[in-house]
Structure 1
Amino acid sequence: MSGPVLAVDQGTSGTKALVICPERGVLGTGFAPVRPRHLPGGRVEADPAELYASVLDAGRQALAEAGEPVTALGLANQGETVLAWDPATGEPLTDALVWQDRRAEPLCSGLAPHAEELQQLTGLPVDPYFAAPKMAWIRRRLTRDGVVTTSDAWLVHRLTGAFVTDAATAGRTQLLDLDRAAWSPRALDLWGLSDEKLPSVVDAAGHVGTTTAFGPPIPLTGLVVDQQAALLAQHLTGPGGAKCTYGTGAFLLAHTGDTPRRGDSGLVACVAWRLAGRTGYCLDGQVYTAASAVRWLTDLGVIRDAADLDGVGGAVPDSGGVTFVPALAGLAAPWWRGDVRGSLTGLGLDTGPGHVVRALCEGLAAQVVELAEAAAADLGTPLTHLRVDGGLTRSALLMQTQADLLQRPVEVSALTDATALGAGVLARLGAEPGLTLPEALPEWRPSAVYEPRITADVAAERLGAFRSAVAALLERDKQ
């Protein structure tokens, strides 16, 4: 019988931890909040010490609740969050620049002549969302000391002393040769990072090192970027459907097999994971603000918290003509216009909180539809279904709106913490040689399936209103 594993998902607004047993399910859970700072000029920072402390806190909570030892540790990370740190002491030299941070925009503009080359080489558009621009900004503006890496490499070093990153996380930097899944000298040169000491790129499953940070020694055997962990947990291990995780942002991924699919729809081609030296690929699209947009409504006093979405939004039959483009941190894929601000239009004296809530749900769902249609265009075949996870999937209003606008079934994961579940799967794979991926994956089942309740014509009308509002924003920003 396989022993339980500790799976840790270090996210933007908190760290979740699960102790997972393949036979008995989740034995213990833990959560520790993280409070990123949203500053003027599109800056978003986090305290590295808080990130590390949250990993320890959440992990210890889960272990205490489980009350039994674990055989391995899996760690999922934010992907594009970066910092500089001292490899001799492990101490941070800068704050962590969170994936939403836009301060490296001027550096990206300066590389516009090489944008097509970089996208072809790495699969990623030149945008401050990815790690390399932030790494270059740190080197030019903050410090030349130590190493500058994504947050996972620092966390792993603090836990085990190893200096590694997995292939999927490396693929979020714009420094990885997508076809070879190895660091690209040309990309490093273009970003002015040729002299950097970079972590070794390793498989997502395998022995990285051993940590005593949680008490008794635990081997770290699973490493992956958060959205790819959720893709794995949703059993999307080959071409077909897609998954969307509704967290701080919303992230849609579709597996493309063992070949990167570079399309022209505005989605990102990237590494899904590398197992036993074999690289799988996926298409990736982002919505920068999902739960963070809900939190914005909460801060304004429109709702008390995310649990209010259904009650407040359900009090009215529709959005009352209100259209919300929740681009509160810019528009990501497929537009890649981080400079664009959001809009709330169609307001009247009869507009109430319920209309605004429904408009937000439609705005989030419409952006996910744009991503799904872009994925279908790049794959050359329509997506048959969408599997979803993340905290906002608890909102029946948002999930029904998603199914309505997508005109496809939306299958909600029975476990909202799919990212941690995926990290746990990889930890098992890395700890048990000979175990296959199908054997390591727990049975997948939905907690709910939402079918479309409106006609295709009505869905097209609502999507048309959203697209017109986006077009107006893009046109205004040209002027």
Structure 2
Amino acid sequence: MFAPQNRIHFPTMGSHRNGFKKESYILSVDVGTTSIRCHVYDKEAKIRGSCSTKVVLLYPEVGHVEMDPDDLWKGFISVVKGAVQDAGIQMHQVEALGISTQRGTFTTWDRRTGVPFHNFISWQDQRAADLVKSWNRSCTMKAIHGAMKVLYFVTRQKRLLAASLVVFSTQHVTFRLVWVLTHYTQVHEAIDEGNCCFGTIDSWLLFKLTKGGFALFSLMCWSGFLSSLVSLPLSIFPKMADQQAAMFGECCFDVGDVKITMGTGTFMDINTGSKPHTSVAGLYPLVGWKIGSEVVYLAEGNAADTGTAIKWAQKLELFSDVRETSAMAYSVSDSDGVCFVPSFSGLQAPLNDPKACASLMGLKPSTTKSHLVRAILESVAFRNKQLYETMLRETRIPITKIRVDGGVSSNDFVMQLTSDLFGKKISRPQHHEMSCLGAAFVAGLEVGFWRTREELKKLQSADDEFSPQCADKECTGSPNGEYVPILQSWERALRRSMNWYNKP
């Protein structure tokens, strides 16, 4: 469910009418990959009303993943009205609206009419894979890498080392947008006429909600150099800011706080404080949030197919109810040597291979459904460990706390195994929808509904906690003995799944 997110908000008309003050609320919407959810929050951050609807993903060609803009807009309006009605309140009692959306899903539209030129292209989409590969092997990239290596040798600045290793991926919007400009004539014509807008889901929703007056705030500027390098016109870009709603909802306000959202994909973020992280292994430096003059940065790693793999297994009728999977995994002592590679959308950091395939290896006549389910759930925890180790190695920031949310976090087997592999205690909130809550928190702070971040911390509900159960009773962050050979087998399966879709 949760993809990388943007967080936006704007105040509504307030709660005063006819001289009387009624109780006020914050409305928050999360536009996820598989559903749109809206919650109404009161002063205690309790949910007073809710509504949700499914998002229909479209697969027009192999590797293409899209969403219909009209359906998305209708779904957005539907859940807002439904949540307000469910809460039994009036719209004028809503102080502010927060919106959390997928950061890498975008469309382009007519600046005058607001009509999209094409469907939303999802963050999971692979249509630009060949273009990305071509650019990463180009003379231009080789020249950039060479120049940066020389500069790093002279200055020893880590950001120059990162620049000497940087490569594009299909999850970056850049080359999916380049693909659009080269394949959709009407987009190119609109750019020539100065009539084309580009934006992620939040930008487009703001455009619709404000009837075109969506450039409400600006945090940073777009890179003219990089835009010109790949021939993207600056005129189409909005003045918007990327923000991480779930991180704020988990109250991960301090340096070293880690948030893991496990939904459609897994997104692991660490608070790096006032400086962006320079990565050489594929972590993303992100703006977490900006409140007043303070800017907080995050470093993020992700695995694209966490919930996707579990839904795929359900479609194959390995189980009927997702809630059965934890018990099924615990019903067998191991996976019977089966390894699952969760890479329907390629492999992300630290392997960064968009041509990797999903695979099941090690099948035997003795393999049962429970063994398969355990192998799939183990793969989720194994990818968590890969991301966690990359984060530790790259940032060198001591981890202060780890909080986990998202639909897959309700699986106790995944949570416990993740804790064992990390050698760390991890906490799971009672309510898993942190993106909605984070967007509500930031919107509420902006309009004075809540006053301070310390106040927000006090509103957190009690957590479920998972502590490592290490065989030697000394948890050091290394897997206990029984999982060392299993991890080694799984890593061999990973290597055999890589570069599968490369053309001969």
| TM-score for the superposition, normalised by structure 1 | 0.86
Change in CA separation of 1:64 and 1:477 when aligned onto 2, cut-off 3 Å:
closer
Q: 1:341 aligns with which of 357, 362, 374?
A: 357
* 1:235 positional shift: 1.3
- Deviation at residue 124 of structure 1 after TM alignment: 7.5
Deviation at 1:445, TM superposition (A): 4.2
Determine which of 292, 296, 306 is the counterpart of 1:276: 292
Q: Which residue of 2 aligns with 1:430?
A: 446
- Say whether the 8 Å CA contact 2:43–2:450 is kept in structure 1: no
Q: Specify whether residues 444 and 460 from structure 1 end up closer, same or farther in structure 2 by C-alpha distance, changes over 3 A only.
A: farther
**Alpha-carbon distance in structure 1 between the residues aligned to 2:411 and 2:38:** 22
Structure 1 residue 386: Cα displacement: 2.3
Deviates more, 1:419-428 or 1:38-47: 38-47
Structure 1 equivalent of residue 108 of structure 2: 84
Amino acid at match of 1:61: G
2:220 aligns to what? 181
Check the 8 A contact 2:41/2:47 in 1, yes or no. Answer: yes
Alpha carbons 1:408, 1:451 under 8 Å: kept: yes
* Alignment correspondent of 1:215: none
User: Which of residues 64, 72, 88 in structure 1 aligns to 2:96?
Assistant: 72
**SS of residue matched to 2:463:** strand
Would you say the 8 A contact 2:43–2:449 is kept in 1?
no
- Greater CA deviation, 436-445 or 305-314? 436-445
- The separation in 2 between residues aligned to 1:381 and 1:148, in whole angstroms, is 36
Q: Which has the larger radius of gyration?
A: 2
For residues 107-186 of structure 1, the aligned pairs below 5 Å read 107-112=131-136, 113-114=140-141, 125-142=167-184, 143-144=187-188, 145=190, 146-161=196-211, 162-164=213-215, 181-186=220-225
Deviation, 1:412, is 0.6
Following superposition of structure 1 onto structure 2, how do residues 283-432 of structure 1 map, counting pairs within 5 Å?
283-432=299-448
- Of the structure 1 ranges 269-278 and 9-18, higher mean CA displacement relative to structure 2 is found in 269-278
Deviation digits for residues 417-445 of structure 1 (CA, Å, limit 9, x no counterpart): 00000000111122229933333455334
What SS class does the counterpart of residue 32 from structure 1 fall into?
strand
1:214 paired residue number: none
Letter in 1 for 2:268: L
Q: CA shift at 1:102, angstroms?
A: 0.9
Q: Pairwise CA RMSD of aligned residues?
A: 2.6
- For 1:432 and 1:284, how far apart are their aligned partners in 2? 30
CA contact (8 A) 1:265 1:377 kept: no
Per-residue deviation, 1:90: 1.4
Greater than 4 Å deviation, 4+ residue runs: 115-121, 475-479
1:27 aligns with 2:48: yes
1:104 aligns with 2:155: no
Aligned length: 444
Q: Distance in 2 between matches of 1:125 and 1:244?
A: 24
Do the aligned partners of 2:104 and 2:171 also contact (CA within 8 Å) in 1?
yes
Q: Does 433-442 or 339-348 show the bigger shift?
A: 433-442
Report how far residue 345 of structure 1 moved: 1.1
Choose the corresponding residue for 2:248, options 200, 224, 232: 232
Give, in angstroms, the shift of residue 452 of structure 1.
2.0
What is the identity, as a one-letter code, of the residue corresponding to 1:460?
Answer: V
- 2:118 aligns with 94
Q: Letter of the aligned partner of 1:85 in structure 2?
A: W
Rounded Cα–Cα distance in structure 2 between residues aligned with 1:24 and 1:246: 22
Task: Indicate the larger mover: 453-462 or 47-56.
Answer: 453-462
Aligned to 1:43: 64
Percent of residue pairs bearing the same amino acid type: 26
5+ residue gaps, structure 2, are: 1-21, 149-158, 191-195, 472-479
Check conservation: 2:166, 2:280, Cα contact below 8 A: no
Further displaced range: 414-423 or 82-91: 82-91
Partner residue in 1 for 2:153: none
Q: 1:475 and 1:330, CA in 2 relative to 1: closer, same or farther beyond 3 A?
A: closer
Change (3 A) 1:64 1:337: same
Distance 1:256 1:469 in 2: 33
3-state SS of 2:497 partner: helix
Q: Residues 124 and 269 of structure 1 are in contact (CA less than 8 Å); yes or no, is this contact kept in structure 2?
A: no
Hey, what does 1:216 align to over in structure 2? none
Deviation of the 1:385 alpha carbon: 4.1
Match of 2:455 among 417, 439, 447: 439
Distance 1:56 1:35 in 2: 16
Return the offset for 1:39.
4.3
**Residues 322 and 356 in structure 1, CA contact (< 8 A), matched pair in contact too:** yes
User: How far off is 1:313 after superposition?
Assistant: 2.4
Deviates more, 1:156-165 or 1:100-109: 156-165
Give me the whole-angstrom Cα distance separating, in 2, the residues matched to 1:475 and 1:141: 26
Q: SS at the partner of 1:196?
A: helix
Question: 1:305: Cα distance to partner?
Answer: 3.6
What is the deviation of 1:365? Answer: 0.7
For 1:67 and 1:394, locate their aligned partners in 2 and report how far apart those are by CA, in whole Å.
29
Deviation at 1:340, TM superposition (A): 0.4
1:129 deviates by 0.8
| Amino acid aligned to 1:100 | Q
State how far apart, in whole Å, the 1-side matches of 2:278 and 2:381 are.
Answer: 25
Q: Which one is further off, 371-380 or 399-408?
A: 399-408
- CA deviations over 1:120-174 (Å, ceiling 9, x no partner): 67x974112122222221111112222222121111111123333877xxxxxxx
User: CA separation of 1:434/1:31 partners in 2, compared to 1, >3 Å: closer, same or farther?
Assistant: closer
Cα deviations across residues 348-403 of structure 1 (Å, max 9, x unaligned)? Answer: 10101111111111101111111111111122145354210011112112212222
For residues 225-276 of structure 1, the C-alpha deviation after alignment (integer angstroms, 9 at most, x for no partner) is 5xx1111111112211311111111110001001011032331112112222
Unaligned runs of 5+ in 1: 168-179, 203-223
Take 1:241 and 1:458, find their aligned partners in 2: how far apart are those partners?
Answer: 29
In structure 1, what is the Cα distance between the partners aligned to 2:114 and 2:85? 27
For residues 45-79 of structure 1, the C-alpha deviation after alignment (integer angstroms, 9 at most, x for no partner) is: 11011111121111112111111221110001100
CA gap of 1:125–1:77, structure 2 versus 1, over 3 A, is: farther
